[in-house]
Amino acid sequence: MTAPKQSPITRDDVIGLRGLRLPAPGLKALRRAGIYCQTAISIEFQQASQQYFIRGVESGGAVPRIGAYCGFLDSSSGSPTTTHPVNAIGVNGLHAALLSGALTRIQMFRSETAYELLITAHRLVPVEGKQRPSLHNSILFHGRHGTLDMELWGKDEHLRGMVSPVFYNKSGEQIAAPDQFHDAILRVTAAVCCCGCRHTHLLNSVGLVAGWR
């Protein structure tokens, strides 16, 4: 009996799972600047609750010329969540981790005053005959051609948390992310302009206060 053919993995599938696929020059620039942005998510089993959770790590920061940040929102409905700081040496790296039954990832990349934004949803799906669930990922918004003609890392620093980039499609028409992410986009815009970042911008719980520098 011939096994059924599996559907090929599309570019959207890869982006939904792993986050923005930056070109080599962008990745090299982030490494040279010492900015570490972890977009990967994982399925973790928690012994205390005997449950599976999705784990995401808030991370990133900026220097004047470039910035990258990845944060997460808890989008579960009633399932217990865990938030804890992640000890990291230096700045513009790992800040905190969130474990939940469902997460929304918000990732932004900035080069000077050009921006790219990705919002993805992640949830656990039961698998028949298996205890471990699978991970379902979907793209909610992908803004590729964003502009914000302000130096939020410098002379316009006082406007952080109040402005965000405008995005356009290939035909030059303005596109907007879903309204429920308006505040989160303001925060992550501030994050990719936060030079020497040492704190979280999206997570806000006991001991983890969202930064607005």
Task: Report if residue 210 sits inside a domain.
Answer: no
Taking the C-alpha atoms of residue 124 and residue 60, their distance in angstroms, rounded to an integer, is 26
Element (H, E) at 82: strand 82-85
Residue 206 falls inside a structural domain: no
> What is residue 136's predicted lDDT score, i.e. its pLDDT?
95
Residue 9: which pLDDT band, with cuts at 50, 70 and 90? confident
The answer to the question of residue 209 being in a domain is: no
**Is residue 5 one of the residues assigned to a domain?**
no
Mean pLDDT computed over 47-60: 92
167: in domain: yes
Q: Is residue 152 part of a domain?
A: yes
Distance between CA 173 and CA 168 in Å, rounded?
Answer: 5
Give me the number of domains the chain comprises.
1
pTM recorded for the entire structure: 0.89
Mean pLDDT calculated for residue range 40-62: 93
pLDDT in tens, 72-118: 999 886 665 778 888 777 899 999 999 999 999 999 999 999 999 99
pLDDT per residue as tens digits for the range 159-208:
999 999 999 988 889 999 999 999 999 999 999 999 999 999 998 643 34
Asked, for residue 202, whether it belongs to a domain, the answer is no
Q: 36: burial class by Cβ within 10 Å (0-12, 13-18, 19+)?
A: middle
Whole domain around residue 21: which residue ranges?
A: 11-191
pLDDT value of residue 6: 57
Amino acid identity at 141: F
Residue 117 domain flag: yes
